[in-house]
Amino acid sequence: MMSLSNQKILVIDYGSQYTQLIARRIREQQVYCEVYSFNKITKKILYDKTLSGIILSGGPNSVKDKNSPKLDKRILTLGKPIMGICYGLQLLCVEFMGKIGNSKLREYGHSTITINKKSILFDRIKKRNQVWMSHGDHIERKPKGFKITSFSNNKVISSIENYQKNIFGLQFHPEVHHSLQGKKIISNFLFKVCKIKDKFRLENFLSTKIKTLRYELKNKKVICALSGGVDSTVTSFLLHKAIKNNLFCIFVDHGLLRLNESKEVENIFKKKFGKNFKKISASKIFLSKLKKITDPEKKRKIIGKTFIEVFEKEAKKIKNVDYLAQGTLYPDIIESIPFFGGPTAKIKSHHNVGGLPKKMKFKIVEPLKELFKDEVRSLGNKLKINSNLLCRHPFPGPGLAIRIPGEINKKKIYILRKVDDIYIKYLKDNLIYNNIWQAFAVLLPVKSVGVMGDERTYSYCVSLRAVTSVDGMTADFYMFNKKDLTEISKKIISEVKEVNRVLYDFTSKPPGTIEWE
Ligand code: XMP
């Protein structure tokens, strides 16, 4: 396997909710990093010759607890720079005979630190800085051989270092954007302490990946399920560049896509993959299985299961397939690190083509698994994928089924498609689309009385949803101008006769979710 970079940062995860942000901040500075749970560190990871520095994340535990995760002492023998954040700092403190105490005063949220000693980590940073704190424990006695480099305004030690050993610790979270100089601190660690020179560039990623895929998949057949979404599209284009006609793509149209979407997807992929692309029009099967189903979870499960059945049947027709391609991204991998509390509470069972046919007996190839979403979009650009496709808002695997609360039927899908199309077209025509992370309409299982001309109407209500978000994990509703909402509502009601009332959803996530089901 070729290396994606000659210099790599290892992030050891102790269960912090911010670990993914650490990886993100490193990658924003074009440095390659990998995240591993503290209990999954192998010799291979530690003795990798590209390893250039180690970051220990925060975590929910107290180092004083008997069963809390311990520091892997092997990392201290490598002679590589180490930076511990919050729990990571506390682990280092205990290791070097410092003392950790429980704060009466929990520091949580915004805080200010004052730098009291010169430090390479704080190079070109103001003496007083706003940072983000999230800790109960704190350093009571500094570890041996370390100096204190800053205090918080509550007089809590907020950073320490042993410059000779190249070991640093921060009580605050530089990865959180409320730490105003956090990016600079991480950059100082990467470039001044770890001396990173080899940047992670997508051009290099692309050429290395193609070579690796060609080597690994030589003379092998790969099958890929397409949804028309960004991840599966980029996965297929990348694989096609590497293995050409050994790639076979299947697009299952479940009949729950947006207006004209099925045709658009078909046109793009047919042009690209020719005979190796197959569209399966399966809306009849899906709709018959969804008949009379109103429970959101049941809908999701039925769609996921039916998708596997249809895909599997089709896949079997292609003989001697070795691999199944999946559009897994790096955040999917980080999020799936199991932790003490076990899996987090399940809110909805997700369905997407990337996570589907696990029971099929193929080996898995995940060519995007080192990338974040925005990098996948940039890679798509480099692969010359139509920018309309790349910049589309996310669309859920179960499609319009989860935007029609209650029973689904052809008529409702027809109405929702028209409404959604008017709404999205308006956003695009008025250059609002790109300011929004995701926008869509929901057809409510409610009819209401209205009056049009001199006539009484009794028709459907729709709700419009638009949110801003970074990753879909949390979201804020988008604040439209009154003029835009008025125009969109007028257009929908005048052009879709089955609808006489338009609502706007003013719910953020949490407490709502983005989709309605
Ligand atoms: P929620 O509704 O959970 O949605 O706040 C967060 C993001 O995930 C998308 N979503 C899905 N994507 N398969 C997908 O590929 C699914 O089953 C699924 N359910 C929700 C949703 O559109 C939003 O972007």
> Cα–Cα distance between 196 and 202 in angstroms, integer?
17
Examine the residue annotation and report whether 314 is marked as an active-site residue of this protein: no
Q: If you write DSSP's letter for every residue of 250-301 in order, what string do you get?
A: EEEE-S-S-TTHHHHHHHHHHHHHGGGEEEEE-HHHHHHHHTT---HHHHHH
Instruction: Provide the pLDDT for residue 479.
Output: 97
Confidence of residue 352 (pLDDT cuts 50, 70, 90): low
The confidence score (pLDDT) of residue 346 equals 57
CA distances to 152, 206, 207, 213, 235 from 1, in Å: 46, 14, 13, 9, 19
Claim: this prediction has a pTM higher than 0.75 = yes
Strand 277-281 and strand 167-170: the pairing is unpaired
* E-state strands within 121-173: 128-141, 147-152, 157-162, 167-170
* Distance separating alpha carbons of residues 343 and 93, to the nearest angstrom: 30
Protein residue with least CA distance to atom 6, ligand 1: 472
Mutating to test ligand 1, I would choose from 307, 348, 436 the residue with most ligand atoms within 8 A of its C-beta, which is: 348
Ligand 1 centroid to Cα of residue 396, in Å, is 5
Pocket test for ligand 1, best of 252, 332, 353, 514 (most atoms within 8 A of CB): 514
- Dihedral (C-alpha) 137, 141, 143, 144: value to the nearest 10 degrees? -170
At 335 the pLDDT is 58
Out of 93, 107, 161, 173, the active site residue is 173
Q: Catalytic site residue 240?
A: no
Supply the residue whose CA is at minimum distance from atom 11 of ligand 1. 396
Nearest CA to ligand 1 atom 9: 396
**Residues of 127-136 as b/e, b for ≥16 C-beta within 10 angstroms?**
eebebbbbbe
Residue 201's contacts (CB-CB under 8 Å, 6 or more residues apart) are 30
pLDDT tens, residue by residue, 164-180: 999 999 999 999 988 99
Active-site residue 93, yes or no? no
- Examine the pLDDT at 105 and tell me if it is beyond 90: no
Which residues have C-beta atoms less than 6 Å from ligand 1? Answer: 348, 350-352, 394, 396-398, 438, 472, 509, 513-515
Partners of residue 504 on adjacent β-strands? 464
Which domains, from first to last, does the chain contain? Answer: 8-193 (3.40.50.880), 202-390 (3.40.50.620), 409-504 (3.30.300.10)
- Map tokens 């990571």 to a residue: 88
Looking at residue 81, what is its pLDDT? Answer: 98
Using DSSP, state whether 126 is helix, strand or coil: coil
Q: Using one digit for the tens of pLDDT, what is the confidence trace for 12-59?
A: 999 888 888 899 899 999 999 999 999 999 999 999 999 999 999 999
- Pocket probe for ligand 1: among 302, 347, 350, 505, the residue whose CB has the most ligand atoms within 8 Å is 350
Per residue in 471-495, pLDDT (tens digit) is 777 789 999 999 999 999 999 999 9
In the chain, what percentage of residues exceed pLDDT 70?
94
Residue 103 is classified by DSSP as E
473 C-alpha to ligand 1 centroid (Å): 9
Element (H, E) at 230: helix 230-243
